Amino acid sequence: MKKPIQILEDYWGHHQFLSRQEEIISTVLDGRDTVALLPTGGGKSVCFQVPALAKEGICIVISPLVALMTDQVNSLKKKGIKALCIPGGISYQDLNALLDNALYGTYKFLYLSPERLQQELVQNCIKQMNVNLIAIDEAHCISQWGNDFRPAYKNCNILRTLLPLVPMIALTASATPEVVADTVLQLKLETPAIIKSSFVRKNLSYQVHYQEDKLYRIEQLLKKSNGSAIIYVRSRKNTVEISQQLNSLGISSHFFHGGISSEDKNTRLEEWLQGKKQVMVATNAFGMGIDNPNVSYVFHTQLPESIESYFQEAGRAGRDGNYSSAMILYNDYDKILIKKQFLDSRPTTHQLKTIYRSLSNYFQISYGEGAFTTNSFNYVAFCKHYQLNTLLTYNGLTALERLGIIQLSKQFGRKSVLKFKISSDKLISYLEQNPTISLIGKTILRMYGGVFESETSVKIELIASKTGQSVATVINALEKMEQEGVLDLKLFHTDASITFIVPREDDKTINSVSKALEALNHKKESEVNAVLNYINNDAVCKSVQLVGYFGEKSAENCGICSVCASQKSSPSKKEIQLISEKILLLLEERELSSRILSEKLTFTESKIVIVLRHLQDVEKIRVNTKNEYFLN
C-alpha cells in the first residue's frame, strides 16, 4: 500500500497536507468511522480520495449536487484516476451499463446522489462491489437541524446495512455541534473520530456595513481590485438587474441562477474562472464545488437566512491565501425583510393541519388510506382552490416533507420558463402582425424583466388572469411563438408530484409531529436571530463571532474585520461631538444620504457611520424611505 504522502505527491503534486488532513486520512486508513469538519477550501475531497486510492477496491461517494459530482469526477480523470458518476434522467439500460462498469471496470470512485441510492438495482450492485470506503460529502444535509437538509439524505444509512464492515467518512464545512451529533446518529456511525480543523480564516476580512447605496460601495471597491468577485442576491431578477448595472459602470459581469440553461451556466462559469468576467452576480445556486482561488470579494446585498449558509458562501473568498473580504451590506429594510420571509411565514401546528387536510381532500384520499400513492400536483391551482397563502403553504409543504409525511418531487416549485430569441424591435413587429397573441406577448414584457437575456420563470395562471384569457389560450400562444422561432419555452403543466408517505389520519398525523414542527420553527427563529445578532454586534470581532457559532470558543481577534478595524479608528468623544455638529448643520438644509454626507465631510466614512448611528440612538435624526437622514 502506497503511503498517503506519496499518493498526494503523485496525483496532486503537493509535498505536504493541509491542516488536519493527514490525521483524518490516517484515521480512515485505520478503518474507523470519521467525521471531518474542515472550512471551505480546507481540502475535504483529499481526505477521502487519498485513502481510497491507498486501498484495493472502490470508494462510494454520496454528493448532493450533479455539478459537484461532475466537477470532482472530471478532476480525478485529469489525474488519470478512473471515476464515474451516475446522472439523473438515464434509461434503465444505460444505468445497468454504468453499474457494470463500476463493478467490473477497476474504477476507484463511484459518485451517487442520495436519490439514486434509493434504487433497488443500485443497492443490489453495491452489495457485490469491493467497496473500501463510503464518503458522505456535505454530510450536514442529513440533519433536519442543518441548513441544507435534504430528506433523501436520510436514506444514506442504507449503506450501513448493505456494507456493515466498510468504514464511513462524513465531511462538512458548516455544522454546529448539534448538527454533528445528529449526523453521527442518522448515519449510524460507530464511535467515530470527530476531527475538526479551526474554522478561522486569517486572510479573510469579514465586513458588515450599513449602506443605503449598496451598488455604489461595490463599484468603489471593485474598481480598485483586479480579483474576481461574487455578489449574492436573493432573487433571479436581481441577478439580471445588478449585472446589467455593473456592466454599464464598466465592471464586467455575468449573472447566474438556477433558471439559466446548462450551456449558459458552463459558458459563464468558464469565462468567470478565466478572468474574462470579473464578477458573478448569483443566487445561492452558485458556488458549491466551484474552485476559484482568485476571489477577492464576496458580497451579500441581502441578509443571509442563516450563519451556516453565510459562512459557506463567504468562505469562497481568499482560497489562494491572499487577503480578501466577505462583506454584508444591509439597511433597515433588510432586517424587516428577513423576518417577513423566514419567520412570519412559518406554519403553526393549526395551519399545518389545514394544509395537510386540504392536500388530502384535493386528491380525494380517504381516511386511513393514501400511503405511498403519488399524485401530479399543481401548486398554484391548489393554493387558489383553497384560498391559501402561497408562501405559508410552500413552507408548510416543505415542513411536511422534512417531517416525513410527504415526499416532493425535484420539480416542486418549478415554473414554466421562457426566453425571447429575437430582439425587442423584431418582437414588437411580430406582435403587431399577430393580434391574437399580441396582448399575451406585451403582458409578459410588462410583467417580467430579463426575458431577452435569460430563461425567465413565468406563471401561466397569472398571465391568464392579467390578460383575461384562459390558461389553454396562453399556452397555445406560447407554443405558437415557440414553433415560429420567437421564443424558447419549457412548459410545466404541473409544479410537481407528491407522494404520501403515511396514511391519512388528519389531525392525528400532524399531532404526532407537532413537537418536531415546533422545534423546526424554533430552529429557524434561532437562525434568523443569530444573523441579526451578527449584524448588530459591533463589539466582538466578526471572525470570533462566526467560529464561535460553530463551537470554536478560543479564537483570537482577527484584527482585520469591520469590528477590529473600527476599534482601531473609533472617533474620540471630541470627534463625535464635532462630526455630530457638522452633520446636524448639513441636515438643517435638506435630507441627505450617508454617501452624500461622506462626500461633503472630511472625516473618514467609518467615523461618519458611527456618528450617524449615535445620532439615531439619541433620537436626533431619523431615516426616511429613501434612506436619507433628516432631523427628528
3-class secondary-structure state, position 240? helix
CATH number at 569-631: 1.10.10.10
Residue 299 to residue 524: CA distance in whole angstroms: 23
pLDDT for 359: 96
The whole-number pLDDT of residue 2 equals 84
Alpha helix (H) residue ranges in 274-316 = 307-314
CA 435 – CA 279 distance, rounded (Å): 41
Indicate the CATH number for domain 204-330+537-566.
Answer: 3.40.50.300
Q: What is the pTM for the complete model shown?
A: 0.74
Dihedral sign computed on CA atoms, order 203, 206, 211, 215: positive
CATH of domain 4-196: 3.40.50.300
At 88 the pLDDT is 67
Residue 382 CB-half CA count within 13 A: 29
Q: CATH 3.40.50.300 in the chain, residues?
A: 4-196, 204-330+537-566
List of E strands, 511-577:
none
Length of the chain as a residue count:
632
Tracing cell 462630526 back to the chain, one arrives at 579
Give the pLDDT means over successive 10-residue stretches in the chain (632 positions): 91 91 95 92 90 96 83 92 84 88 92 88 94 94 79 87 95 89 92 93 93 91 89 90 94 87 84 93 78 89 93 89 92 91 91 96 94 85 91 91 84 74 91 90 86 81 84 88 90 74 94 92 92 95 95 90 81 86 91 85 79 88 85 88
CB 127: neighbour CB atoms within 10 A? Answer: 10
Q: Could you tell me which CATH number the domain at 416-490 has?
A: 1.10.10
CATH class of 341-413+496-525: mainly alpha
> What does the pLDDT read at residue 493?
57
pLDDT value for 246: 95
All CATH 1.10.10.10 domain ranges of the chain, comma separated, are 341-413+496-525, 569-631
The Cα 102–Cα 124 span in angstroms is: 13
- Cell representation of residue 198: 479551526
Q: d(Cα 205, Cα 289) in Å, to the nearest integer? A: 22
